[in-house]
Amino acid sequence: MEKNETTRDIARTQGPRSLSHAMSGLLVFGMMAGLAAWYQGHVGSSAWAQEAKAPGDPPAEPPDFSEFLARPETLASVSVNDIARSSRLNAIAMIRGKEVYDKNCAECHGADLKGSVQKHAPDLTDTFWMFSGDDLPSGGLTKYPADVEWTIRYGVRSGNQNARGNKADMLAYDPRYRTAADTKSYGDKRFLTDEEIADVAEYVLKLSGQQFDPAKAERGEDLFQDNAKGNCADCHMDDGTGNDALGSANLTQKQLFLYGSDRAAIIETINRGRRNVMPAFEGTLTPNEIKAVSIYVFSFYRP
């Protein structure tokens, strides 16, 4: 709508039928939003199992909003992407999802979903989501609630065979810190000297918009791209922007560095490797709860 455009102007350009449909849609949306807010405010958490208010009183029955608000038990039989497309299902998923998030996820990711450097937990409200991007037509650029659901259900390096990150550890360039699996695959030799690691770190500082030594960064870029030495580009891509599907960090965004973004922290990360773990919630949460919290978290994604 243009700044000075009025409802009458829209009616003139779209016609009375279009305006009527638009107003009806807004009315229904407003009613549903209001009912969902009323439901949460008056019935509260776990409304479908509310305690009696006084001795001898029967448990309060939740209001029947079947026309506007689906029952939570219906979520399990619907794909999470389809839940996001349904006003009724999405409304109950948002209510139930916040409850599940506050109880199970906020400890690491924060009540505001902004993450925690201290707990190495990523911000869930930005554009840069690791371990996502299964959409074939867009090459993984389009994100869906199902991407979140997979991570919540199976975790990250959780021990579950379907977990994210099982095939994409960050190698420790100091062999003393390599896992047994990485040692078996890559051996126990050093690929980079301490001086070369410092040069790569300088290049990462350059990529992330920080102060850097130009000569060291130039040498570091060569090592970053060299698939026989540093081979960083294999996971972080030639331009350092990372690969969502692999879970490799976007090195151009220093706020995404979960272990610190200064020179010393980057050198430590290269030496030790990073293998963050998130637990699998399959078996801990019900299918309804997993789908609800997936919808809730996805609602904060900012493409």
pLDDT (tens digit, 9 = 90+) per residue, 72-123?
899 999 999 999 999 999 999 999 999 999 999 999 999 999 999 889 999 9
Check whether residue 216 and residue 286 sit in a common domain: no
| Domain contains 224 | yes
Q: Positive or negative CA dihedral for 86, 91, 93, 97?
A: positive
Check whether residue 155 and residue 286 sit in a common domain: yes
Check whether residue 127 and residue 182 sit in a common domain: no
| Domain contains 297 | yes
* CB 157, CB 276: distance < 8 Å: yes
Give the pLDDT confidence score for residue 60 in this predicted structure: 56
Check whether residue 194 and residue 214 sit in a common domain: yes
* CB 210, CB 254: distance < 8 Å: yes
In the block, residue with structure tokens 């455009």:
5
Check whether residue 301 and residue 265 sit in a common domain: no
| Domain span holding position 293 | 70-133+150-161+281-303
Distance (Å) of CA 259 to CA 25, 150, 267, 278, 288: 46, 24, 11, 15, 33
| Domain contains 245 | yes
Close Cβ partners of 154 (under 8 Å, ≥ 6 residues apart): 160, 162, 163, 164, 280, 282
Check whether residue 298 and residue 156 sit in a common domain: yes
Check whether residue 285 and residue 260 sit in a common domain: no
Give the pLDDT confidence score for residue 299 in this predicted structure: 96
Check whether residue 294 and residue 155 sit in a common domain: yes
Give the pLDDT confidence score for residue 244 in this predicted structure: 85
Check whether residue 85 and residue 125 sit in a common domain: yes
Q: Using CA atoms of 232, 237, 238, 241 in order, give the dihedral in degrees to the nearest 10.
A: -110
Instruction: Please tell me whether residue 204 adopts helix, strand or coil conformation.
Output: helix
Q: Positive or negative CA dihedral for 49, 55, 58, 60?
A: negative
| Domain contains 155 | yes
Give the pLDDT confidence score for residue 19 in this predicted structure: 33
Check whether residue 181 and residue 252 sit in a common domain: yes
| Domain contains 199 | yes
Q: What is the CATH number of the domain that holds 85?
A: 1.10.760.10
Check whether residue 156 and residue 197 sit in a common domain: no
Give the pLDDT confidence score for residue 169 in this predicted structure: 81
Check whether residue 268 and residue 289 sit in a common domain: no
Nearest Cα to 227, choosing from 236, 217, 214? 236
Q: What parts of the chain have a pLDDT lower than 70?
A: 1-66
Give the pLDDT confidence score for residue 247 in this predicted structure: 86
Q: Considering its fold, how many domains does the chain have in total?
A: 2
| Domain contains 15 | no
| Domain contains 89 | yes
| Domain contains 225 | yes
Max Cα distance, the chain (Å): 80
Give the pLDDT confidence score for residue 145 in this predicted structure: 95
Give the pLDDT confidence score for residue 18 in this predicted structure: 39
